[in-house]
Structure 1
């Protein structure tokens, strides 16, 4: 089966079923063609890049900052993903972090206990869903974080809390990993769920 540039090109040629399709977004002189899941149930179609860490993952027993290392691996190369993102509409990747006494950052000492990797680059200044300029989590953008903090998890109490959000900056995508800590004492623990990368394509 020949490749097309995008999921929309496959749809335009009459392929209406959501499944893997072969795409070549930048032509013969660009990256090799590759398979991507095309969700044809929406308009425009969504290209979905799955990875090996999409299950909800328990983090427990890792007290020191960044002690737990979670690496996210995709079936295709970074260059192939970037090529498709470049000619796509908006892209996003959702991250959900559930915490029980597990800090993202100690705001009193300004110590990061957990951080992430945006397209392979270490990020400690903000959390997925937050703002790169002002820091914090998604709730900080709406001034709705618990306890007046920059993230719900920074309250660091014995209640289950959550900091979730979408990474939408194409320069920061894909999400490639996390370093997580403050889950080693008493009832401290956390869960992280990393969704696939999705682009209007």
Structure 2
């Protein structure tokens, strides 16, 4: 029987981290530093059967992906306008894909921009975009009313492309 291995690559931003107060779209930036460089990690995603990276945003009174105030950056520098649990063709977040967001016209809970703590989370699984190079958020200047915390998981790749 042939066993499949899992390769797990950590980075410097795995714990739950506060988004520093700032107002403009994407003004907060957190660059992820991995234990290997982005070219090496992209080579890993190409030879792996599947890869994933967990992302979570806890937010209050925020504008996010749908309104263009938050995004993440792919390994090769592209601005990504979708979040975990969704995909590039749909955009938005997991709740937008399933129609379960807190506001029916929104594609992410964190686009509600109200005074309720909300969460958008899930796995990014598009191997052509992984690993995450950076995350950007904004609309957090009115602290403590506007607040956010992000959590970015390790890159996990399984199996081998045959």
Structure of higher RCO (CA pairs closer than 8 Å, 6+ residues apart)? 2
Task: Tell me how far 1:160 sits from its aligned partner.
Answer: 0.5
Matched, 1:74 2:31: no
Matched, 1:192 2:161: no
Give the SS at the match of 2:43.
Answer: helix
**Cα distance in 2 for residues equivalent to 1:49 and 1:101:** 33
Q: Name the structure 1 match of 2:125.
A: 168
**Cα distance in 2 for residues equivalent to 1:60 and 1:51:** 20
- Runs of at least 5 residues in structure 1 that lack an aligned partner in the other structure: 1-11, 13-42
**1:161-184 deviation per Cα after TM superposition (whole angstroms, max 9, x unaligned):** 001111101101001101110111
Task: Tell me how far 1:60 sits from its aligned partner.
Answer: 3.7
Give the SS at the match of 1:175.
Answer: coil
Decide which structure has greater strand share. 1
C-alpha RMSD of matched pairs (Å)? 1.7
Task: Tell me how far 1:86 sits from its aligned partner.
Answer: 2.2
- Runs of at least 5 residues in structure 2 that lack an aligned partner in the other structure: none
| Equivalent pairs, count | 156
**Cα distance in 1 for residues equivalent to 2:52 and 2:45:** 10
Give the one of 127, 135, 158 matched to 2:91: 135
Task: Tell me how far 1:124 sits from its aligned partner.
Answer: 4.6
Q: Name the structure 2 match of 1:157.
A: 114
Q: Name the structure 1 match of 2:61.
A: 101
Contact 1:120 1:177 in 2 (8 A): no
Bigger CA radius of gyration: 1
What pairs with 1:18-29 in structure 2 (closer than 5 Å)? none
- Please, what TM-score do these two structures have when normalized by structure 1? 0.72
- Please, what TM-score do these two structures have when normalized by structure 2? 0.88
Contact 2:81 2:88 in 1 (8 A): yes
Contact 1:89 1:200 in 2 (8 A): yes
**Cα distance in 2 for residues equivalent to 1:167 and 1:86:** 15
**1:131-184 deviation per Cα after TM superposition (whole angstroms, max 9, x unaligned):** 212221111111111111110011111111001111101101001101110111
